[in-house]
Structure 1
Amino acid sequence: MAQTAFEDIAEDFEFLDDWEDRYRMVIELGRDMDPLAEELKVPATKVEGCASQVWLFPNWQGKTFHFDGDSDAMIVRGLIAVLRTLYNGLSPAEVLKVDARAELGRLGLNDHLSAQRSNGLRAMVERIRDVNEAHI
């Protein structure tokens, strides 16, 4: 059920043997992402449960979900970019069908992130699911 852009990341990860290279790739994805506008970095868009500052701004274009995000930590910006490839362009019902744990597990992220980063990633996924449940 993963989006094409996410599949591309998964394929790239298969060719990277070293986790340092994978981390660099995630960080690069975050660098390539446009920053979230400062006026959108408000308490309503802040994700609690993350060790770093994280904001997710959801929006729906017609019947499809999209979100922008930002963080003060480069690795987390990269994780936001990865989540965007997983969820952007889906309907709210499709978002709820995504098994984020399994999809992210394909990248090996579950095994290589610190406990704090894993908790933050889980919090971001929960926020994405919550805003889509409310939108159905």
Structure 2
Amino acid sequence: MSLPVEAAEALQTFQNAAGWEQRARLLMQFGDCLPPLSDADKCEANRVHGCESQVWLVGELRDGHWQFAASSDARMIRGLVALLLLRVNGLTAGELQQVDLPDWFNQLGLSRQLSPSRSNGLNAVLQRMRELAPD
């Protein structure tokens, strides 16, 4: 399965990063670029359970392809979620089911950043996306 254009560009950026500190900085920058969710979207119904931090997720189907928006109160998680959104936005429901989260963050060189709790949180976000986008 090929990567969405923005995901491929992000991957290139991270692979060109000279070491861990630069990748961590990039991660924060990606999080800072995440468009804010409205207060109305930051409601209990949109909260992703299974994350230590607060994460909200909304999704909408446009012409057979999913577009998600998300936010978090934690800066590091916002960055990770931003990279997850790059990976999944524009996919069909079927493609969404095939996304390999550990592989994506491994390619980005960020697996070190994924503590078990962060990993579980991101898996919960992906799981919620899959619930919103049934086959």
TM over 0.5: yes
Name 1:47's counterpart in structure 2.
48
2 CA distance for matches of 1:38 and 1:60? 21
Name 2:17's counterpart in structure 1.
16
> How much identity, in percent, do the aligned residues show?
34
DSSP-derived class of the 1:38 partner: coil
CA contact (8 A) 2:15 2:109 kept: no
Shift of 1:71: 0.5
Name 2:3's counterpart in structure 1.
2
Deviating above 4 A after TM superposition, structure 1's stretches of 4 or more consecutive aligned residues are none
Task: Tell me which moved more, 123-132 or 46-55.
Answer: 123-132
CA contact (8 A) 1:2 1:103 kept: no
- Structure 2 gaps of 5+ residues are none
**CA RMSD, aligned part only?**
1.4
- Structure 1 gaps of 5+ residues are none
DSSP-derived class of the 1:52 partner: coil
Shift of 1:62: 2.1
2 CA distance for matches of 1:77 and 1:112? 13
2 CA distance for matches of 1:52 and 1:115? 13
Question: How many equivalent pairs are there?
Answer: 134
Name 1:68's counterpart in structure 2.
69
CA contact (8 A) 1:2 1:98 kept: no
2 CA distance for matches of 1:15 and 1:46? 34
- 1:28 maps to amino acid: Q
CA contact (8 A) 2:57 2:71 kept: yes
Cα shift readout 1:56-113 (whole Å, capped 9, x = no counterpart): 1011112110011100011111112111111111111121122222122211322322
2 CA distance for matches of 1:63 and 1:19? 37
